[in-house]
Structure 1
Amino acid sequence: MIATMRYEFRMQIRRPVLWIVYGLTYAATVATFGSTYVTLDLGFGEGLASKTAMISSASLLMSLLPIVYGCLIADRLIRDRLLGVAGVLDATPAGRTGRLIGKYLGTCTATAVPLMLAYFGRAVAYAITEGEPAALGWAVTLFVTAVVPGLLFLGALALAGPLLMPVMLFRVLFVVYWFWGNLIPATMMPTLSRSIFAAKSEYVAYGLLDYGSNLTIPPNVILPPEGIVYGPSPGASLNFLRPEATPAVAFLWIGVMIALAAAVLFLTRLHTIRTES
């Protein structure tokens, strides 16, 4: 497993397309969100600047960059079969389960490196320009608790999907899934957006890190009667999948993402056993 992980990491991190596509998508993200990304200033009160800035940065980067993440992982598992080396690898002492886990961890880690550099690079820039070293601590906390669980699920999904369909078709469907299940407002159509099954979720920010409470809201901002609440969307379907954010629900979301990733990998292993027999 470790040998496979190291090999897959080195192979993926050296792909020029990884850096080119990430770079173009990052530029599109900065251009799309403009001054919001440059300043990370949401107009909230003193004492929460570092936390709100890092939450804002994570939310903005997780809008488009996960599309690149999933699409670049999509051809990794089927690569051995396409190159005709699957039989050679099966003849080695390494177990197939260990190779699968190693390929998953190595590929996902390498593919997440540009996203990590973009996020932590912005955190370092913010800490220096704003004189807020606490931003670095918040950045680490946000990335581990609010970003990594979603990437674990997306990585497993992207690794397994092409086993059932052509790679290009999966990539198209993955883009559709990302917008439908994570970005489209729940009031527009039935969607998993803002639910405990959404890879892009702010349950950790609102429920675990207490984002949204004790904020000084600008006078020109009109809040709904219930205040700042992350969870059910008034009038939306599937609201039973959107419990109001609390620490328990934040941990539930983390657990759901990890469980989904494990389930997809387990089903992937079963699929390979059936096709190999």
Structure 2
Amino acid sequence: MTENRLSPTTSDSKRSFLQELVALATGFGLAGAAQAAPATPDFQPTRRPGMQGKRFGMLVDMRKCIGCQACTVSCSVENLPPIGQFRTTVLQYEVNQGEGSAPAMVSLPRLCNHCDNPPCVPVCPVQATFQRTDGIVLVDNERCVGCGYCVQACPYDARFINHETQTADKCTFCEHRLEAGLLPACVESCVGGARVIGDLNDADSEINQRMQADKDDIKVLKPGMKTEPRVFYIGLPDAFVNGVDGQASVRLLSDH
């Protein structure tokens, strides 16, 4: 059994430190031919073109998630990350309910939150990590130098350095499938219908209708980080809202 001991306060300090490193890198010309990015907390480079007029988001209904890992497997088959590395997974947690009560077992789907204010973008010294106008955050693997700044800056532990390519990797909302009119692999394979993806700009989209129906129970992870995540949860226990990491009452049972 393992515990993730990183605290939200540590994540905040680390992000500031990385922004200072980027400022030094650009100042000494280490960013190469890429446009120098000011290392200020609110800076975001201009978004690149995406699917016109859309803003994609995902809704995860934890009441329907059974922890079967079908999403994890289908994502791996579709996107072929190295063995042992995952773009999305369902982590199993044990939540202490107090003395005299049995711990609650919670299955929590985790993935890139495709934030509206993604902290992973401005820390990239070569602008390999970027955001499209439809909100999808991607990595240009031909530009990425594998420095890991974005991995450390992400407060959701959603990024990793691919063992095979030695570049940053993460969930892309299967943008190649969306552009072909298909659903992301994780959404298509979810046996309980727990995952829904859609256009947040379309009031009639399924994701907006379901969020409206459960508007009083919509939560996001770590709202205090002000990243404006676009992965929403229904049925997310309060113990998880402000960060699972470092909480004595929440224990991660296994890595995957």
- The reply to whether TM is greater than 0.5 is no
Larger radius of gyration: 1
TM range (shorter): under 0.3
Select the structure with the greater relative contact order (CA < 8 A; seq sep ≥ 6). 2
